[in-house]
Amino acid sequence: MEERQRGQSRRNPKSRRRQRGPAAGWLVLLLVAAAAAAVSVFFLRHLKVQEEERAKTRDSSEAVVAEYFPGDDRNEAAKDSAASEEELEGKTPMTVEEALQEMTLREKVLQLFMVTPEALTGVDEVYAAGAKTEESIREYPVGGIVYFKQNLRSPDQVKDMLTRTQKYFRDNTGIEAFLAVDEEGGQVSRISGREEFGIASFPDMSEIGASGEPQKAYEVGDKIGTYLADLGFNMDFAPVADVLTNPENTVVARRSFGTDGAVTAAFSNEVVKGLQAHGISAVLKHFPGHGGTTADSHDGYAATERTLEELMAEDFVPFLEGGRAGARFIMSGHIAAPAVTGDNTPASMSPKMITEILRGTLGYDGIIITDALNMGAVTSSYSSADAAVRALQAGNDMLLMPENFQEAYQGVLTAVENGTLSEERINQSVERILKVKFH
């Protein structure tokens, strides 16, 4: 009995081990399965978090795209532009006369204005052309837009912005805009000399003039014209045609080609040829000549004391010869010439200086555009509306950068409606503008 019990006692542990064996196995399997499930849950949650983060990034990106580049990618503007050009193929181009007949008074008046993208859109800083730009162009299809350094960040950005902007104009009115920049080379440059554009800076134009080689001026115009055309511009506020007749002048001392009218004309004409060979309309500036002043019209009143005979002998020569050479624009400066006009009226506001002398005596029949109307020489004496109307009465065709675009635009409309300006006068300027645009 005792022996059996001991035997049973020895067998019981084995029996218990055999009984515990299957249970332990199931427990291990359950633990492994639970761990696998936990890992799966963690992995799935991790994937979900990643997807949510990607979705947030995607949504954020789409929000930016919607603000600046609605409904397409950055290549779509170029595709749309090409498509628009294909649609125009085979169609008879609209003539200047046909365009004038179809335009409303409002559309004609808007053609007279060249403004910054900020003035057009009401946005503080513009460096893309999206929904707001398109909406603004639809509402105010102005004659042109001028861009400055803050608008120009990289070659791809500029190309995209200008391609889109031009497409909006074509789609809205069928008439392209002047897309302009101040790129003289040397002291005044918005693009060259900037690392992000990879374009070397140019010497000052005074240095080019001192070389005695007009070919160097052509090379400047040719190079500038090449990259401006590639970026999408079609107009450059260059060259400076001012003759440095006052040794104390610092405004254009580095920007002028020299102190002799004929020499300055030879050099500035070469820049015109270089630019316009690439489809970039050149602007001779600043009639009647900023080289005889001491003050800067950006800040306030500026005048030349030279007589008409002296101006004809030197200062006017580059504008006379430039017009003959085919310069599409001349800029009228806010420079008084009291010895000629008998008062302190800026040339840009003077019928005698613009209509009688520049149009009549010098025979220029291209587009005359004012210097910026937000300069101190204008704003110190005229409201935006008054300055715009007076500039047109003087004989200018385009109004550059009024201090208040809306006020200036309404002022011109009102002047036509009340008879201060005739619609025929407006038509004359629009015709000159369209001739260049349809060229």
Q: Higher-confidence residue: 42 or 424?
A: 424
Helices 384-394 & 405-417, crossing angle to 10 degrees?
Answer: 60
Q: Is 380 exposed, middle or buried (0-12, 13-18, 19+ CB in 10 A)?
A: exposed
Strand-pair category, 281-287 with 235-236:
parallel
Round to whole Å and give the CA distance between 280 and 283: 10
Q: If residue 166 lies in a helix (H) or strand (E), which one and from where to where?
A: helix 155-173
Q: Please tell me the number of Cα atoms within 13 Å of 167 on its side-chain side.
A: 22
Pick the closest to residue 362 from 288, 306, 286 (CA basis).
288
- Tokens 């608008």: give the residue: 151
Pick the closest to residue 430 from 86, 166, 101 (CA basis).
101
* Model confidence band, residue 106 (pLDDT cutoffs 50, 70, 90): very high
pLDDT of residue 156 exceeding 50: yes
Dihedral of CA 185/188/194/197: which sign? negative
In this structure, of 4-18, 76-90, 152-166, the range with the lowest mean pLDDT score is 4-18
What confidence score (pLDDT) does residue 301 get?
74
CA 17 to chain centroid: 89
Pick the closest to residue 199 from 155, 264, 253, 251 (CA basis).
155
- pTM for this entry: 0.81
The set of catalytic residues is 298, 371
Measure the N-to-C terminal CA separation of the chain; round to a whole number of Å. Answer: 127
Q: How far is CA 281 from CA 29, 160, 347, 397, 439, in A?
A: 83, 21, 23, 15, 11
* Per-residue pLDDT tens over the stretch 200-237: 999 999 999 999 999 999 999 999 999 999 999 999 99
pLDDT of residue 378 exceeding 60: yes
Task: Name 174's Cβ contacts closer than 8 Å, sequence gap at least 6.
Answer: 94, 99
Round to whole Å and give the CA distance between 311 and 249: 16
Residue type, 45: R
Please tell me the total number of residues recorded for the chain in this structure. 439
* Per-residue pLDDT tens over the stretch 39-75: 454 545 544 444 554 444 333 333 333 224 433 444 4
Round to whole Å and give the CA distance between 424 and 317: 31
Q: Please tell me the number of Cα atoms within 13 Å of 43 on its side-chain side.
A: 6
Bond preceding residue 288 cis, omega within 30 of 0: yes
Contact 233, 179 (CB under 8 A): yes
